[in-house]
Amino acid sequence: MKADLLTPRHWNDYELIDSGGYEKLERFGKYVLRRPEPQALWDKSLPPDEWERLADAVFRKDRKSDDRGEWICRPGMSGQWFVGYRHEGMNLRMRLGLTSFKHVGLFPEQAENWDYIHDRVEACGSGCRVLNLFAYTGGASLAARSAGAEVTHVDSVKQVITWSRENMEASGLDGIRWVAEDAMKFVRREVRRGSRYNGIILDPPAYGRGPDGEKWVLEEHLHPLLAECSRLLVPENAFLVLNLYSMGLSALLAKTAVNRTFGPASREQFGELYLSDRAEKALPLGVFYRMFRQ
């Protein structure tokens, strides 16, 4: 067994400029953002005055909250803007925005998975059905839809689904099925209905709440969710993508958890997603597991 280290290859509208001192300096399209990064525990490569000169917006954490904060922006900076991403026949356009949780509407390291999803759907052929759980603003949904899949996009936050719909329309796509619901509830109902999918994408948070207060704790609920999802994936011409962002969970854990619930795969990959800055410091940003069955 050998773990893979994967980083996006086609990002013209994104760059990790520098990292260190528990921060990262990133360019998203025409704007440069400075925000906290707990895994950037090394020294910065650029001097402090260069960080200050380059940053159009800086995220400052609220002293009373571990999760929230505010953005300090240069005069004239827009609170919303668009970036593009291309791969083969995929041409995505996504709206970004400055949120109080330091997020901006996409996770750039996931572009490596978008490529994989697009290519697997094309290989699957016509009639490919894809389920995207914890789907956030929909980068993976757009990748699947741009390759011709019938996509069901599930997220518990209605505002995020509205954001995803804007991204679909900006990308010149249509036809995605939107579901605002707790992921576990939806999957169990799909199992009862006898639904089947050629592709399943899971991007679960470490902790969260469903629209009716349903509690999600990754370590407690991942295995039951995978077990239910295994009943939805067709036995042939199928793929799975799993991302884990919770610190302390390994790619080997992801591999073992999927193997125990889904059974053997024709081909599988597992490892870490990362981004490199200009000084070639590699910043790890989550683990992944992906497989397909022929």
Does 123 lie in the same domain as 245?
yes
Q: How long is the chain?
A: 294
29 vs 23: CA distance, rounded Å: 19
Question: Residue 195 to residues 10, 189, 267: CA-CA distances in angstroms?
Answer: 35, 9, 24
220 vs 257: CA distance, rounded Å: 12
Give the model's pLDDT for residue 48: 98
Does 288 lie in the same domain as 146?
yes
Give the model's pLDDT for residue 247: 66
Give me the CATH number covering residue 277. 3.40.50.150
Give the model's pLDDT for residue 62: 87
pLDDT in tens, 162-190: 999 999 999 999 999 999 999 999 999 99
Does 195 lie in the same domain as 64?
no
Residue 123 forms part of a structural domain: yes
Residue 162 forms part of a structural domain: yes
Q: Which of 164, 167, 143, 171 is nearest to 239 (CA)?
A: 143
Does 256 lie in the same domain as 191?
yes
176 vs 5: CA distance, rounded Å: 31
131 vs 150: CA distance, rounded Å: 9
- Given its phi and psi angles, is residue 54 left (phi above 0), alpha (psi -120 to 50 degrees) or beta? alpha
User: Which residues on adjacent β-strands are paired with residue 240?
Assistant: 200, 291
Whether the CB-CB separation of 92 and 211 falls below 8 Å is answered with no
Residue 2 forms part of a structural domain: no
Does 229 lie in the same domain as 289?
yes
Residue position matching structure tokens 């036995």: 235
222 vs 87: CA distance, rounded Å: 31
pLDDT in tens, 254-292: 999 999 999 999 999 999 999 999 999 999 999 999 999
Number of domains in the chain: 2
Give the model's pLDDT for residue 171: 98
Does 248 lie in the same domain as 135?
yes
The pLDDT confidence band at residue 117, using thresholds 50, 70 and 90, is very high
144 vs 129: CA distance, rounded Å: 9
Does 73 lie in the same domain as 130?
no
Does 106 lie in the same domain as 72?
no
According to DSSP, the β-strands at 150-155 and 129-133 are: parallel
For the chain, what is the mean pLDDT?
95
156 pLDDT higher than 80: yes
pTM score of the predicted model: 0.95
Domain limits at 60?
A: 10-80
Residue 5 forms part of a structural domain: no
Does 117 lie in the same domain as 241?
yes
7 pLDDT higher than 80: yes
Residue 90 forms part of a structural domain: no
Give me the CATH number covering residue 39. 2.60.40.1180
